[in-house]
């Protein structure tokens, strides 16, 4: 690492952009707004995928794959959906190129124009519900509990690695149910699944809530969400789960025959998380030395670095390191041994600090004499010498301790940054100074929400599911309100 990372206090945004690249997570590509997810970043995403996929399957879901192209006319079928999604998107108009008759290269063949343009999916409700129409006839076909892992495209003018890119990777669940109650249970369940994942795997505390009307998914009757707080006091929406009512069933005419009575429209949910979670992970935990990974998501939980002056020493260390690796792997710990001679130990220390490997073990000639190793934990940057024979029992416990400690640290920060505010002057002031979530009364109107946004750039991140019933008055209009909502500036 020749280049030093900008510090968070100096420029938080710059710190983030640099860290993502320097920790080998992702980088910008030659295609505007599209990123390359580098192997190390992708390995973390694979860990996220594996755990989420397991949770989805445990809750009865199966995976499938639907076309990434959506005929333009499909979007027009659900009125509010088209406004939300059929605007900034990639449009395929032709299906052939030809050699340029005037010179080098290729040009679009105007004879190969599509009769109807195809949209690269920004989300798949329309293509999936046009398919569900064929799959659902009877109550025996319900529920349909289907998930898809896919790439999607939303043409963004201002992009940032992971947080907002034109193409991103995600999963989207799309379920169909016989009753409203069952669909509501599903939408809430998946919000819980996301919250559980965020807290126990990403060590990222989240608030579960519902969105206000203006922040709802286009086509949803209710949007459940998990909201996290980043180290700069801005909120980040980390996952959403939508109760879609019968909107898409009506738009695509999907009815089922119940056990008794007349055919009825089907009830729907959809839910998703994306590679945006990678951005959330970075901004929840990392420091001025680079990434800090919770052990549950680290591609390597432990890295072993040999410290040696000559080949003979290296050989002796290799022997010990291999024993240690074997013992740790037997305990389910993922270990990398970096004994490349083309890089110096100091370079490696910086490299694995930048990459956020939770535990580093260094072994030098002195350690061989003393039967010790140097054990360093990334999150607290603490080092200690421990007996080599204790390492295999200490490390699994240490990894658990790091996982919990990272969560608790993030939780303390988050809780310290939820402030109850009762007047608009303090509200404005806090947004500029302390930041974080501001817990306030609101009169429930979109008009007020919009005004507050215009005045302060803060929006309602969610109405917490556990909000207490409490009499109060709207922070802007003074109109009566029965519970507090969370405002924040957000990503």
Indicate whether 34 belongs to the interface with a second copy (CB under 8 A): yes
Host H or E run for residue 370: helix 365-370
Point out which span in 127-135, 209-217, 265-273, 326-334 binds a second copy (CB under 8 A): 127-135
Indicate whether 406 belongs to the interface with a second copy (CB under 8 A): no
10 Å CB burial of residue 266 (0-12, 13-18, 19+) is buried
Cis, peptide link before residue 143, omega less than 30° from 0 = yes
Point out which span in 28-36, 180-188, 222-230, 403-411 binds a second copy (CB under 8 A): 28-36
Indicate whether 131 belongs to the interface with a second copy (CB under 8 A): yes
Q: With contact defined as beta carbons under 8 Å apart, do 197 and 55 qualify?
A: yes
Give me the residues paired with residue 151 across strands: 169
Indicate whether 119 belongs to the interface with a second copy (CB under 8 A): yes
- What lies within 8 Å, CB to CB, of 103 at 6+ separation is none
Indicate whether 158 belongs to the interface with a second copy (CB under 8 A): no
What is the Cα–Cα distance from 5 to 11, expressed in whole angstroms?
A: 10
- What lies within 8 Å, CB to CB, of 431 at 6+ separation is 438, 456, 457, 458, 489
Cα–Cα distances in angstroms (integers) from residue 399 to residues 285, 389, 390, 394, 464, in the given order: 15, 17, 14, 9, 32
Among 67, 263, 478, 480, binds a second copy (CB under 8 A): 67
Point out which span in 33-41, 202-210, 228-236, 448-456 binds a second copy (CB under 8 A): 33-41
Indicate whether 164 belongs to the interface with a second copy (CB under 8 A): no
- What lies within 8 Å, CB to CB, of 454 at 6+ separation is none
What is the Cα–Cα distance from 412 to 404, expressed in whole angstroms?
A: 12
Indicate whether 70 belongs to the interface with a second copy (CB under 8 A): yes
What is the Cα–Cα distance from 173 to 175, expressed in whole angstroms?
A: 6
Point out which span in 86-94, 391-399, 450-458, 471-479 binds a second copy (CB under 8 A): 86-94
Indicate whether 482 belongs to the interface with a second copy (CB under 8 A): no
Among 11, 14, 31, 380, binds a second copy (CB under 8 A): 31
Q: How many residues bind a second copy (CB under 8 A)?
A: 64
Indicate whether 27 belongs to the interface with a second copy (CB under 8 A): yes
Give the nearer residue to a second copy in terms of CB position, either 109 or 470.
109
Host H or E run for residue 167: strand 167-177
Among 10, 106, 381, 383, binds a second copy (CB under 8 A): 106
Indicate whether 452 belongs to the interface with a second copy (CB under 8 A): no
Decide the pairing of beta strands 255-256 and 264-265.
antiparallel
Among 2, 3, 9, 39, binds a second copy (CB under 8 A): 39
Instruction: List binders of a second copy among 305-364 (CB under 8 A).
Output: 342-343
The least distance separating a second copy from the CB of residue 293, rounded to whole angstroms, comes to 17
Give the nearer residue to a second copy in terms of CB position, either 146 or 221.
146
Give me the residues paired with residue 149 across strands: 171
Letter string b/e over residues 392-431, b meaning 16 or more CB atoms within 10 A of that residue's CB = bebbeebbeebbebbbebbeebbeebbeebeebeebbebb
The least distance separating a second copy from the CB of residue 199, rounded to whole angstroms, comes to 26
Give the nearer residue to a second copy in terms of CB position, either 68 or 418.
68
Indicate whether 91 belongs to the interface with a second copy (CB under 8 A): yes
Among 66, 170, 265, 424, binds a second copy (CB under 8 A): 66
Give the nearer residue to a second copy in terms of CB position, either 3 or 134.
134
Helix (H, G, I), strand (E, B) or coil at 355: coil
Residue of 274, 250, 280 lying closest to 264 (CA atoms): 250
The least distance separating a second copy from the CB of residue 87, rounded to whole angstroms, comes to 6
Q: With contact defined as beta carbons under 8 Å apart, do 485 and 463 qualify?
A: yes
Give the nearer residue to a second copy in terms of CB position, either 159 or 223.
159
Indicate whether 108 belongs to the interface with a second copy (CB under 8 A): yes
What is the Cα–Cα distance from 472 to 34, expressed in whole angstroms?
A: 46
Indicate whether 366 belongs to the interface with a second copy (CB under 8 A): no
The least distance separating a second copy from the CB of residue 25, rounded to whole angstroms, comes to 11
Site string for a second copy, 259-298 (x = CB under 8 A): ----------------------------------------
Give the nearer residue to a second copy in terms of CB position, either 150 or 473.
150
- What lies within 8 Å, CB to CB, of 336 at 6+ separation is 300, 302, 303, 304, 357
Among 2, 9, 102, 105, binds a second copy (CB under 8 A): 105
Q: With contact defined as beta carbons under 8 Å apart, do 208 and 192 qualify?
A: yes
What is the Cα–Cα distance from 225 to 215, expressed in whole angstroms?
A: 11
Among 52, 56, 78, 130, binds a second copy (CB under 8 A): 130
Helix (H, G, I), strand (E, B) or coil at 320: helix
Indicate whether 243 belongs to the interface with a second copy (CB under 8 A): no
Residue of 228, 28, 254, 259 lying closest to 129 (CA atoms): 254
| Contacting positions for a second copy (CB under 8 A) | 27, 29-31, 34-39, 42-43, 45-46, 62-76, 82, 86-98, 104-106, 108, 117-120, 127, 130-131, 134, 140, 146, 150-151, 155, 167, 169, 342-343
């Amino acid at each position: 690492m020749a280049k030093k990372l900008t510090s968070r206090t100096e420029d938080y945004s710059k710190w983030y952009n640099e860290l993502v690249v320097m920790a080998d997570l992702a980088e910008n590509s030659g295609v505007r707004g599209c990123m390359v997810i580098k192997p190390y970043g992708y390995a973390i995403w694979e860990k996220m995928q594996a755990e989420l996929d397991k949770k989805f399957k445990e809750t009865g879901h199966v995976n499938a794959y639907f076309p990434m192209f959506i005929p333009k006319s499909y979007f027009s079928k659900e009125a509010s959906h088209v406004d939300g999604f059929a605007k900034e998107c990639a449009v395929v108009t032709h299906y052939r190129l030809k050699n340029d008759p005037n010179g080098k290269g290729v040009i679009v063949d105007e004879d190969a124009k599509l009769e109807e343009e195809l949209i690269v999916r920004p989300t798949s409700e329309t293509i999936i519900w046009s398919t569900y129409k064929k799959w659902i006839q009877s109550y025996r076909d319900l529920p349909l509990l289907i998930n898809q892992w896919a790439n999607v495209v939303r043409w963004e003018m201002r992009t940032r690695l992971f947080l907002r890119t034109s193409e991103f990777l995600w999963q989207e669940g799309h379920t169909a149910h016989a009753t409203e109650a069952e669909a509501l249970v599903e939408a809430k369940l998946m919000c819980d699944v996301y919250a559980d994942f965020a807290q126990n795997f990403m060590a990222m505390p989240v608030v579960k809530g519902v969105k206000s009307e203006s922040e709802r998914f286009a086509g949803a009757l209710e949007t459940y969400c998990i909201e996290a707080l980043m180290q700069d006091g801005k909120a980040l929406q980390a996952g959403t789960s939508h109760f879609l009512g019968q909107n898409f069933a009506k738009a695509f005419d999907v009815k089922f025959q119940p056990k008794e009575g007349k055919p009825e429209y089907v009830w729907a949910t959809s839910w998703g998380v994306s590679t945006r979670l990678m951005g959330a992970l970075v901004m929840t935990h990392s420091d001025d030395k680079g990434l800090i990974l919770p052990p549950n998501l680290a591609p390597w939980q432990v890295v072993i670095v040999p410290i040696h002056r000559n080949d003979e020493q290296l050989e002796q260390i290799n022997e010990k390191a291999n024993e240690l690796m074997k013992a740790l792997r037997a305990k389910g710990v993922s270990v990398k041994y970096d004994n490349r001679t083309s890089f110096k130990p100091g370079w490696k220390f910086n490299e694995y600090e930048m990459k956020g490997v939770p535990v580093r073990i260094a072994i030098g000639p002195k350690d061989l004499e003393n039967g010790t190793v140097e054990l360093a934990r990334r999150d607290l940057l603490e080092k200690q010498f421990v007996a080599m024979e204790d390492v295999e029992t200490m490390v699994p416990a240490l990894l658990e301790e790091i996982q919990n400690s990272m969560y608790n640290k993030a939780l303390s920060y988050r809780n310290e940054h939820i402030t109850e505010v009762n007047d608009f002057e303090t509200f404005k002031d806090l947004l500029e100074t302390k930041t974080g979530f501001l817990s306030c009364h609101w009169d429930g109107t979109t008009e007020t929400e919009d005004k507050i946004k215009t005045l302060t750039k803060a929006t309602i991140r969610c109405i917490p599911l556990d909000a207490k019933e409490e009499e109060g008055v709207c922070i802007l209009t003074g109109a009566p309100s029965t519970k507090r909502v969370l405002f924040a500036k957000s990503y």
